[in-house]
A and B are shown apart, each in its own frame.
Chain A
Amino acid sequence: MINIDSTVSQAPPKVEVSNLNFYYGDKQAIKNVNLVLPKNKITALIGPSGCGKTTLLRCFNRMHDLYDGNRYEGEIVLDGQVNILSRRIDPIEVRMRVGMVFQRPNPFPKSIFENVAYGLRVRGEKNKSFIADKVEEALKASALWDEVNDRLKDMAFTLSGGQQQRLCIARALATDPELILFDEPTSALDPIATRNIEDLMDGLKKQVTILIVTHSMQQAARLSDYTAFMYLGEMLECDRTEVIFKQAAQLRTRDYVSGQFG
């Protein structure tokens, strides 16, 4: 029962997932998922714990390649051109185009400036003024510039949790990714910091396509343009967010978004 509503395909697709299966060793965690991420939109992945949301998210930048015994089947096609799951594609190339923000802020033990410059440095960028411009641009886009521009040399640990998470967003933005993956980015933050990050993401979609995993249904409803509901490794339904929340096609989706189970 895969329901890709016609409205989903109105915006041009940035990423198309087809017949995706994923295995941790022998255990199948993602079952035949089909999904379209429309360009410059925010798509939220919701579903009860252990349903495979994060596992699915981590397929988009091949994070599963870091650990032995993981296996993908199917396709994730970027811009209708490259299947990023293909064995011929270097996962590092994929990660150069797809950024990621994690559940807990994970700044590196470096200065604020070097944290944001990291992606450029590992790409071999040497031009100092270019790096400085990019860092400033990314910090402005992540609404952190005004708070840190006078202490860029300070260690990143000196920032608050919410600031650290915005720093991680700046780190992902600095390399001009086409798609950013957010893995429950506000679950470790207080309501005010959460609000800041949500406002920020809403502004970011002008530049990038966003896929976010969230536990909070309110967050999905507030933030996303499209919502995909996952259950036991399957994608039960994906549609415009208001459709999912008001008139979902499936009973299970309706039960979940109305808080009947979770």
Chain B
Amino acid sequence: MAISSLSEAIAAPPRKQVIRRLKERFIESLLFLCAFSCVAVTIAIMVILGTESIGLFKTVSVWEFFTGTEWAPLFEPAKYGILPLVCGTLTTSAIALFVAIPIGTTIALFLSEFASQKVRVWVKPILEILAGVPTVVYGYFALLFVTPLLQLLFPDLPGFNMLAAGLVMGIMIVPQISSMSEDAMRSVPDELREGSYAAGATKLQTAWNVVFPAAFSGVSSSYILGISRAVGETMIVSIAAGLQAKISFNPMDSAATMTAYIVQVSLGDLPHASIGYQTIFAVGFLLVSMTLIFNTIGHWLKRHYREQY
């Protein structure tokens, strides 16, 4: 009796089988749609940014857009050279990374290799708070606290400047770099550390000569993602770096970044399909492409060098 019911269950009636299979199929497609929606949105953003900026390139040549040294699309005569904005973005990002990479890496090495469990339990949540501060708060912090402080050192520093914005942006990125790098360092197997100690190395020598290079894929991808975060950061630079587009690599200058320009223009009421309206799409397109490239490099680095120990 038992045997026959078992074999019946295995050879379930075809109708039951079909229903079960359909149910599985349905749930699978639902899950696929959820996952695909993210991809679809990304593609849609790129397509819209692309098509909207084509309008601009009907009036402005691509060559002028990428090589022009003046950006003044809303004035007469209008100038459409993106370089000043790119320059502002690169300068503020460079300052930010100059702060974030050394500090973030040091914190990661400290937490992963030197700190006791007790210290780690205290420091990590504090870093997470730092990561959770809204960027608008960072922006006002740069404008109303860091800039006046820097003016004590450099009396000629203008109220809007890339230095304060870059420094504060760096502090904002520190938790991201330190937390990703620490994860990478902690996943280095203890066998490697012990090998180094057994060869007579000190803690510092082991951290620097063995753990850091072993974790480098993760650490470098944290740097790249930090760069893309800096390039895309908007609030801090809009508030503290100024809105004047100009080619200057001097941190003491004020300058607009790509993101700051987009904010400035989209807050005004520009008529649809006007050339000013199209410029923000073109700038946005370039910005997204830049961060996309950095993110891709970051993920590639992480995948490519993973698990080599």
A153 within 8 Å of B (CB atoms): no
Q: Which of A66, A109, A110, A119 contacts B200 (CB 8 A)?
A: A119
* Cross-chain contact B199 with A175 (CB below 8 angstroms): yes
Are B199 and A172 neighbours in the complex by a CB distance under 8 Å?
A: yes
| Cα of A107 to Cα of B192 in the assembled complex, Å | 7
Chain B residue with minimal CB distance to A181?
A: B198
Q: For the complex, is A254 an interface residue (Cβ under 8 Å from B)?
A: no
Indicate whether A102 sits within 8 Å of B200 (C-beta atoms), given known contacts A109-B213, A122-B205: no
What is the minimal beta-carbon distance from B201 to any residue of chain A, in angstroms?
A: 4
B195 surroundings in chain A (CB, below 8 A): 102, 106-108, 168, 171
Q: How far is the CA of A63 from the CA of B201 in the complex (A)?
A: 12
Q: Does A113 contact B (CB under 8 A)?
A: no
A188 to B53, CA, bound (A): 60
Q: Give A63 to B196 CA distance when docked, in angstroms.
A: 11
B197 touches A66 (CB 8 A): yes
In Å, the complex CA distance between A95 and B309 comes to: 23
Task: Determine the interface band of chain B, counting residues with CB < 8 A from chain A.
Answer: 20 to 34
In the complex the two chains form, is B192's CB within 8 Å of A99's CB?
no
With a cutoff of 8 Å between Cβ atoms, the chain A residues found around residue B196 in the complex are 108, 118, 122
Inter-subunit contact A95/B199 (CB<8 Å) = yes
Contacts A106-B191, A106-B192, A106-B195 given; indicate if A123 touches B213 (C-beta within 8 A): no
Count contacts on A: residues with CB < 8 A to the other chain: 26
A92, CB-defined interface residue at 8 Å: yes
- Cβ 8 A contact of A63, one of B192, B194, B205, B214: B194
Chain B residues with Cβ under 8 A from A168's Cβ?
A: 195
B201 touches A108 (CB 8 A): no
A110 CB contact (under 8 Å) in B189, B194, B213: B213
Q: Is the CB of B213 within 8 A of A108?
A: yes
- Measured CA separation A109–B196 after assembly (Å): 11
Is the CB of B308 closer than 8 A to any CB of chain A? Answer: yes
Q: Mark A96-134, 1 if CB is under 8 A from B, else 0.
A: 100110101011111000000011011100000000000
Q: Which residues from chain B contact A157 at a C-beta distance below 8 Å? A: 308-309
Q: How far is the CA of A155 from the CA of B196 in the complex (A)?
A: 17
A61 at the interface (CB under 8 A from B): yes
Distance of A216 Cα from B210 Cα, bound (Å): 32
Hey, what's the 0/1 contact readout for A61-98 against B, CB within 8 Å counting as 1?
10100100000000000000000000000001001100
Which of A100, A104, A110 is the one whose CB lies under 8 Å from B198? A100
Is B202 among interface residues, defined by CB-CB distance under 8 A? yes
User: B41-72 interface mask toward A, CB cutoff 8 Å, 1 = contact, 0 = none?
Assistant: 00000000000000000000000000000000
Q: Does B296 contact A (CB under 8 A)?
A: no
Residue of A whose beta carbon sits closest to that of B192: A106
Contact residues in B for A122 (Cβ distance below 8 Å): 196, 199-202, 205, 209
Q: Which of B192, B200, B214 contacts A123 (CB 8 A)?
A: B200
CB neighbours of B309 from chain A (8 A): 109, 157
Q: Which of B194, B209, B214 contacts A118 (CB 8 A)?
A: B209
- Give, as a whole number of angstroms, the nearest-CB distance from B218 to chain A: 12
CB-based nearest A residue for B309: A109
Complex CA gap A171/B205 in Å reads: 16
CB–CB A63/B197 < 8 A:
yes
Q: Report A209 CB to chain B, min CB distance, Å.
A: 16
A109 to B194, CA, bound (A): 14
Asked if A96 and B198 make an inter-chain contact with CB atoms under 8 angstroms apart, the answer reads no
Q: Bound complex: CA of A108 vs CA of B210, how far in Å?
A: 6
Contacts of B197 in A (CB 8 A): 63, 66, 95
29 contacts between A and B (CB under 8 A): A61-B198, A63-B194, A63-B197, A66-B193, A92-B200, A92-B202, A95-B197, A95-B200, A104-B191, A106-B189, A106-B192, A107-B195, A108-B196, A108-B209, A109-B192, A109-B210, A109-B213, A109-B214, A109-B308, A109-B309, A119-B200, A122-B200, A122-B201, A122-B202, A123-B200, A157-B309, A171-B195, A171-B199, A172-B199
Residues of B whose CB lies within 8 Å of any CB of A are: 189, 191-202, 205, 209-210, 213-214, 216, 308-309
Starting from the known contacts A102-B195, A122-B201, 16 additional A-B residue pairs (CB-CB under 8 Å) come to A61-B198, A95-B198, A100-B198, A102-B198, A106-B192, A107-B195, A108-B209, A108-B210, A109-B192, A109-B210, A109-B214, A110-B213, A118-B196, A118-B209, A121-B209, A175-B199
7 smallest CB-CB distances across A and B, nearest first, come from A100-B198, A119-B199, A96-B200, A106-B195, A106-B191, A122-B201, A95-B200
Q: Which A residues have a C-beta under 8 Å from some C-beta of B?
A: 61, 63, 66, 92, 95-96, 99-100, 102, 104, 106-110, 118-119, 121-123, 155, 157, 168, 171-172, 175
